[in-house]
């Protein structure tokens, strides 16, 4: 593998913000995510821009992507909004991950939001945050990288 493979865990909001930064602008197809209800697990496989490599090598250096698996454990339920699950090949671009503590009697635990460009959202309901991100193989060189306007 060119560069070091990421293997990260998240158990609190600060950890999740690190994973969110690593996954910013990551792409996935609707068919590349699943809720395995019997195992209380949500999984997704992204094509992730290797932000860490761009920072180390410089923004004018080689740019690359890698397939990365994201896994949440202890998930009780999953809700989506603005995503057509029947369009299995639809490409989604992840903007951020967010964590909320649920304090109501009906929904104790946490909810995790996966927010996508265009307004799509997936919300996971779990007892606690237990998340892992792991690169899954060789990275590949790309010729364009995500660009963001600075405020």
Give the pLDDT confidence score for residue 20 in this predicted structure: 95
Distance (Å, rounded) from C-alpha 78 to C-alpha 100?
14
Q: DSSP class of residue 86?
A: T
As a whole number, the mean pLDDT across the chain is: 87
Would the pLDDT of 98 be above 80?
A: yes
Distance (Å, rounded) from C-alpha 27 to C-alpha 123?
17
Give the pLDDT confidence score for residue 42 in this predicted structure: 98
Give the pLDDT confidence score for residue 151 in this predicted structure: 44
Q: Select from 65, 72, 116 the least CA-distant residue to 94.
A: 116
Q: Select from 103, 115, 111, 90 the least CA-distant residue to 23.
A: 115
Q: DSSP class of residue 135?
A: E
Return the SS3 of 137: coil
- List, for residues 87-97, the tens digit of each pLDDT value: 998 999 999 99
Strands annotated E in 26-148: 27-29, 33-36, 41-49, 63-73, 75-81, 91-102, 109-116, 121-126, 131-135, 140-142
Would the pLDDT of 85 be above 80?
A: yes
Report the relative pairing of strands 91-102 and 27-29 from DSSP bridges.
antiparallel
Confidence of residue 149 (pLDDT cuts 50, 70, 90): low
Percent of the chain exceeding pLDDT 90 equals 66
């Amino acid at each position: 593998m060119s560069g070091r493979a990421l293997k990260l865990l998240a158990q609190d909001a600060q950890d999740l913000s690190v994973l969110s930064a690593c996954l910013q602008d990551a792409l996935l197809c609707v068919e590349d995510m699943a809720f395995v209800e019997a195992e209380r697990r949500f999984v997704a496989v992204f094509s992730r821009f290797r932000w860490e490599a761009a920072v180390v090598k410089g923004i004018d250096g080689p740019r690359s992507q890698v397939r990365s698996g994201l896994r949440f454990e202890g998930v009780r339920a999953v809700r989506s909004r603005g995503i057509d699950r029947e369009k299995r090949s639809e490409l989604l671009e992840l903007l951020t991950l967010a964590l909320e503590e649920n304090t109501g009697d009906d929904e104790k635990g946490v909810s995790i939001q996966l927010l996508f460009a265009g307004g799509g959202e997936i919300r996971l309901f779990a007892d606690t945050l237990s998340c892992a991100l792991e690169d899954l193989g060789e990275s590949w060189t790309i010729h364009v990288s995500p660009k963001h306007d600075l405020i």
